[in-house]
Structure 1
Amino acid sequence: MTPPWAPLSQAEAAAPPPAAAGARLWQRLRRLTSLGAALGVLWVGGLLTFAANIPRAPEDATAATDAIVVLTGGSERLETGFDLLAAGRGRKLFISGVYRGVDVRALLRMSQATPAALECCVVLGYSADDTVGNAAETARWMQAEGYHSLRLVTANYHMPRSLVEFRHALPDVRIVPHAVQPPNVRLDGWWHWRGTAGLIVSEYDKYLVAFLRHALGL
């Protein structure tokens, strides 16, 4: 048994007293809490900015482009794409993210478009499973066609993230956003609507991931 008057070992002498160790732990917790609070404020501020900048209407609706590109995910998008093609806003319509087995005639029937008038100018892409895939698939098709401009048709809440991915995949292509307004997405007072609020928060988080991934070169 070590007598109480025995000198302290080197490790014991170097160890901080319990009160000092507790103070340091408390300081670290305070710093982490402050950092978390600051990140939370930034996240909320970014969310509000993101929601405020979701497009409420198509941009430059009358400009013609080489192609019209529709990202699947809602009937309004297809109908808008076919209407734009019929109005001569592009030479061809490319629909990205189509399920295997679905053909042009089936999509035209779904959108109540006239097959004879549009079937020749509609191209389907089957390889995309997400927005990153949509951009990559469209880039390959645009290069094969020799096109240099496109009108991008997707839902308004999906447009910011789509532009991040498309501008990265097609840096030399002019992209005209054409946001579609889904009737069940209520942008005015969106925080009052649980479905819309959840959709916007989810899309904002995905947008942040996409933006940071490209900003960091990942």
Structure 2
Amino acid sequence: MVNGPNSTDAIAAAGNGGTVPGGHKSPRRLVPLLRTVTFSLAGAALLFAGGFGLFVSHIGGMETPADLPSADAIIVLTGGQARLDAGIELLKSGKGERLLISGVHPAADRDDLRAATGGDRNLFSCCVDIDHAALDTIGNAAESAKWVRSHHYGSVILVTNNYHMPRSLLEMGRYIGDAELQPYPVVNTRLDNGGWATNPDALRVLFTEYNKYLVALARGVVPVRASSEDIATANASSAGYPPH
């Protein structure tokens, strides 16, 4: 009696733990694996969407402080005129001794910034420092930390847009050591009324920033600490700043 062609494969598969000739798993064994992968992807998508909702809700609840306590210094992360204006106003009102504008384009000098903000020449000469080295938020944090350490500041007001504040605080906290950070979120567009969901530009900015924030969180698996070279550079550069 000659066996059918399928019977030989079935016997071989049973003897090989569900693997048919050629090393491929039988369809019956693949079903649980595919189901697990599908559920895992669906769970990850739900977690991602839920996290995005919480992220937007947190940002939407931010408000520019009406009366922020004074600090030793002020740091503005470039990225918009409103940020610069807010930092200058805080400095004028005595909320900090000095102001660092971090991430300034290399082509922009002190006079350009003063003209753009309408700042007083004497104020810029005595109390405003400019960082051209930082190219991104991580660079902002690293360069700002050098500046804070060189002046031995214990508290800093951090100025940036509301959507950028969570990631800025996260990165800054990794570099700045024991100095206290006081967030000063600049709110250009209200996000607490749900209008962002129907605004393509706002949705794009929020979605992009959320993904960058997740990447920043992932980087936190390996703690970032200031190197001895950074500390030496900060100490050596302290003589280059006017007394405060």
Q: TM > 0.5 between the two? A: yes
Counterparts of 1:63 and 1:14, CA distance in 2 = 72
Structure 1: 5+ residue stretches without partners: none
Deviation at 1:59? Answer: 4.4
Q: Partner of 1:124: helix, strand, or coil?
A: strand
1:50 corresponding residue in structure 2: 55
Counterparts of 1:165 and 1:156, CA distance in 2 = 15
Counterparts of 2:36 and 2:29, CA distance in 1 = 11
Structure 2: 5+ residue stretches without partners: 225-244
Counterparts of 2:174 and 2:46, CA distance in 1 = 28
Q: Partner of 1:176: helix, strand, or coil?
A: strand
1:14 corresponding residue in structure 2: 16
Equivalent residue in structure 1 for 2:219, among 198, 205, 213: 213
- Whether the aligned pair in 2 keeps the contact of 1:61 and 1:178 (CA below 8 Å) is no
Residues 99 and 24 of structure 1, relative CA distance in 2, 3 Å threshold: same
Q: Give the number of equivalent residue pairs.
A: 212
1:24 corresponding residue in structure 2: 29
Amino acid at match of 2:53: L
Q: Partner of 1:151: helix, strand, or coil?
A: strand
Greater displacement, 206-215 / 91-100: 206-215
Counterparts of 2:65 and 2:217, CA distance in 1 = 22
User: Normalising to structure 1: TM-score of the pair?
Assistant: 0.88
Counterparts of 2:50 and 2:102, CA distance in 1 = 33
Structure 1 moving runs of 4+ over 3 Å: 215-218
- Whether the aligned pair in 2 keeps the contact of 1:59 and 1:176 (CA below 8 Å) is no
- Whether the aligned pair in 2 keeps the contact of 1:47 and 1:204 (CA below 8 Å) is yes
Amino acid at match of 2:176: L
User: Normalising to structure 2: TM-score of the pair?
Assistant: 0.79
Output aligned runs, 1:1-218, within 5 Å.
13-14=15-16, 16=18, 21-54=26-59, 55-59=61-65, 61-183=67-189, 186-189=191-194, 190-217=196-223
